[in-house]
């Protein structure tokens, strides 16, 4: 139920982009529907658009006042759709072209974050076939596509593994010819949402599957979210400030979520990546953090809508 006595978005015509072309399509559909339901509760006229390559024509036909971008993954989160929206001159939510492209490219975002003094993992980019033939780093290490989200195509190569993931050399691999390979960082999986320029909270994600994979992120009961994270105060403060600095360094707008690993044994906090369009599923972390600081779901959506603009 909405927390508003009136309808703050009455008379606004809002297109919600969802679905799309990436492997994260199904998650995006869930996020988009949650956004759409919230907008409708607040009185908006909502047009749900399952985004395809005819997105410019679809938006021109419906002529919205603004666009809420609920797309996840390649094409919807990497600057491509943002460029279309800029060309059409439509106000839209979340980050703009450059910030979206930078954050989605793990190698380039790591370079920008490191230059800003933020601790990021080592490792680098490797051809997938080379990475499938032999260990390019000493195990344990993590293999992930350079430009995907939602833990799609991620492999944890454990200490003592005889060979790398053979899936990397498969003929049906569609996640890019180069993969990011990083040393595995033990410890806690932490995340911090940033709204505007302010970090909200630190959540400790405890996956039931052993690591924070796709099922742990989106499956019912796939993980436990501990908020606030039970970590030393100085680590909480460091994570909050690092998330804000990362948001700023990449030029992000609106809502982002930064993911960390914290090795409590060595007191080592490392920023893994910045997500420019965090999920809005029933298990999503950013709405939980907003609620924790006193902003319910509809008020969070209203903030995101009011922050929309063009150019971004």
Three-state DSSP string of the chain: CCCCCCCCCCCCEEEEEECCCCCCHHHHHHHHHHHHHHHHHCCCEEEEEECCCCHHHHHHHHCCCEEEECCCCCCCCCCHHHHHHHHHCCCECCCCHHHHHHHHCHHHHHHHHHHCCCCCCCCEEEEHHHHHHCCCCCCCEEEEECCCCCCCCCEEECCCCCCCCHHHHCCCCCCCCEEEEEECCCCEEEEEEEECCEEEEEEEEEECCCCCCHHHHHCCCCEEEECCCCCCHHHHHHHHHHHHHHHHHCCCCCEEEEEEEEECCCCEEEEEEEECCCCCCCCCHHHHHHHHCCCCHHHHHHHHHHCCECCC
Annotated catalytic residue 218: yes
Asked about 162 being catalytic, the answer comes back as: no
Report the pLDDT value the prediction gives residue 283, as an integer from 0 to 100: 73
Q: Which of 20, 275, 284, 312 is catalytic?
A: 275
User: Is 279 an active-site residue?
Assistant: yes
For the domain covering 13-94, report its CATH number: 3.40.50.20
Residue 148 is predicted with a pLDDT of 72
pLDDT value of residue 223: 81
Report pLDDT for 207.
80
Hey, do 13-94 and 103-119+186-292 end up sharing a CATH topology, with the first three levels equal? no
What are the structural domain ranges in the chain?
Answer: 13-94, 103-119+186-292, 124-183
pLDDT under 70: residue ranges of the chain: 1-3, 149-152, 209-222, 282
Q: Is 24 a residue of the active site?
A: yes
The pLDDT assigned to 213 comes to 45
Quote the pLDDT of residue 214. 43
- Catalytic residue, chosen from 19, 32, 123, 279, is 279
Kindly name the residue from 245, 253, 257, 261 that is annotated as catalytic.
257
- pLDDT for the residue 23: 86
Could you read off the pLDDT of 32-55 as tens digits, one per residue?
999 999 999 999 999 999 999 999
Task: Respond yes or no: is residue 257 known to be catalytic.
Answer: yes
Q: Which CATH superfamily is domain 103-119+186-292 in?
A: ATP-grasp fold, B domain (3.30.470.20)
- Confidence (pLDDT) at 108: 96
Catalytic member of 19, 20, 22, 24: 24
């Amino acid at each position: 139920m909405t927390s508003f006595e009136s309808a703050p978005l009455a008379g606004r015509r809002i297109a919600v982009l969802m679905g799309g072309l990436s492997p994260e399509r199904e998650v995006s559909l869930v996020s988009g529907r949650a956004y759409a339901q919230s907008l409708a509760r607040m009185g908006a006229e909502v047009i749900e658009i399952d985004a395809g390559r005819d997105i410019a024509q679809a938006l021109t036909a419906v002529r919205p006042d603004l666009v809420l971008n609920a797309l996840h993954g390649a094409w919807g989160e990497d600057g491509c759709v943002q460029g279309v929206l800029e060309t059409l001159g439509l106000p839209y939510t979340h980050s703009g072209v450059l910030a979206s492209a930078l954050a989605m490219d793990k190698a380039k975002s790591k370079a920008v974050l490191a230059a800003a003094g933020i601790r990021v993992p080592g490792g680098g980019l490797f051809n997938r076939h080379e990475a499938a033939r032999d260990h390019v780093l000493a195990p344990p290490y993590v293999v992930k596509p350079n430009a995907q989200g939602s833990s799609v195509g991620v492999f944890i190569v454990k200490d003592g593994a005889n060979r790398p993931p053979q899936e990397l050399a498969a003929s049906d691999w569609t996640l890019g010819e180069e993969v990011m390979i990083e040393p595995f960082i033990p410890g806690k999986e932490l995340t911090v949402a940033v709204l505007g320029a302010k970090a909200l909270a630190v959540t400790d994600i405890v996956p039931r599957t052993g690591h924070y994979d796709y099922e742990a992120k989106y499956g019912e009961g796939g993980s436990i979210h501990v908020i606030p994270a039970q970590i030393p105060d100085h680590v909480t403060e460091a994570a909050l400030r690092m998330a804000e600095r990362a948001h700023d360094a990449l030029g992000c707008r609106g809502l982002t979520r930064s993911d960390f690993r914290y090795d409590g044994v060595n007191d080592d906090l490392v920023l893994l990546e910045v997500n420019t369009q965090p999920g809005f599923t029933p298990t999503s972390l950013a709405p939980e953090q907003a609620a924790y600081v006193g902003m319910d779901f509809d008020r969070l959506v209203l903030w995101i809508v009011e922050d929309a603009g063009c150019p971004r």
